[in-house]
Amino acid sequence: MRSLPRRLSLALAAAVAGAVLASPAPAAPVGAARVLNVVAAENFWGSLAAQLGGRQVDVTSIVTDPNADPHEYETNPSDARLFASADFVIENGAGYDSWSDKLLAAQSRAGRTVLDVASFLGRPNGSNPHFWYNPAYVFRVIDRITADYESLEPGERRYFAARHAAVESALAGYRAELGSLARRFAARKVAATESIFVYLASYLGLRLVTPPAFMDAVAEGVDPPASSLATFDRQIAARAFGVLVYNTQTVTPLTTNIRNATKARHIPVVGISETMQPPGTTFERWMVGELERLGAALADTS
């Protein structure tokens, strides 16, 4: 077979290359599910959302810094872009992350789904916003996230159902630790520097003796009533509780003094956090770690 003249060969090769570059990319299969852009205001909800969505979601959590107070988070242009492109936004609500409401209002998008956890749970603004420390609430939110995923991508219902089952299995250790603590330490007296521990103490059947006015004031960043502080001081002096739980992300001179005074009376102190620590862990590992430390402290006072 005779070869083409070199000039003609080059021209033909260029034409073929141009045709290939100009041709459209292969179309995605009809009915193929999209990967959902999910934004979680806090990483504890983000961890659950990522596990429940698996390969069908791309989750970004906004508040992840274990050294920051989530109440005081300040948004930036990157956050605004994330909200603008999100298919699904999960916010805690109840005034805990009001910055998220502002971003949603400024970045409207047709078809976007928003899960306001507080509204879903029927909890108004001003109520205790630490819903992730209430296991009953956590399991309700897990069910709701899966339902929202199925609504956004009906063709992937079976996949999301499988992911939901996998997450339930991953939380087995969390359930077991909760049950163990409730059986072993129900009615044990404990104290807390703020309201972050209220839901979990109630779930475990612990008797939280700290004045509610004190805990609420610290959570809101204001000075507690003098009478509540006096009561707390008397409780410490009398060793009226077995363990003090404090929020490691809301540290003030007052809470530091309370912690030091408690330690001076040889009462165990356990720290818990508002966001996952370390940030790259999972919700269940974080929670089980905190429950194990609480259990060890309670056992130490038996």
- pLDDT digits 0-9 by tens, 101-140: 999 999 888 889 999 999 999 999 989 999 999 999 999 9
- Helical ranges in 87-223 per DSSP H: 98-106, 117-121, 135-152, 157-170, 172-185, 198-204, 212-220
Domains 36-170 and 185-300 share a fold: yes
> Structure pTM?
0.88
Interatomic CA distance for residues 66 and 43, integer angstroms: 10
Interatomic CA distance for residues 99 and 76, integer angstroms: 10
Q: CA distances (Å), 117 to each of 51, 96, 142, 272, 292, in order?
A: 18, 11, 11, 21, 27
Whether the CB-CB separation of 266 and 35 falls below 8 Å is answered with: no
CATH number of the structural domain 36-170: 3.40.50.1980
| CA geometry: angle 87, 157, 169, nearest 5 deg | 100
Q: Count of residues for the chain? A: 302
- pLDDT digits 0-9 by tens, 173-232: 999 999 999 999 999 999 999 999 999 999 999 999 999 999 999 999 999 999 999 999
Q: Which two tokens stand for residue 4?
A: 């083409």
What are the residue boundaries of the structural domains of the chain, listed by start? 36-170, 185-300
Interatomic CA distance for residues 201 and 246, integer angstroms: 13
- pLDDT digits 0-9 by tens, 71-106: 889 999 999 999 999 999 999 999 999 999 999 999
Which of these CATH numbers, 3.40.50.300, 3.40.50.1980, 3.30.1490.190, 3.40.50.2300, describes 185-300?
3.40.50.1980
User: Element (H or E) spanning 61, and its range?
Assistant: strand 57-63
Whether the CB-CB separation of 59 and 282 falls below 8 Å is answered with: no
pLDDT for residue 246: 96
Interatomic CA distance for residues 241 and 243, integer angstroms: 6
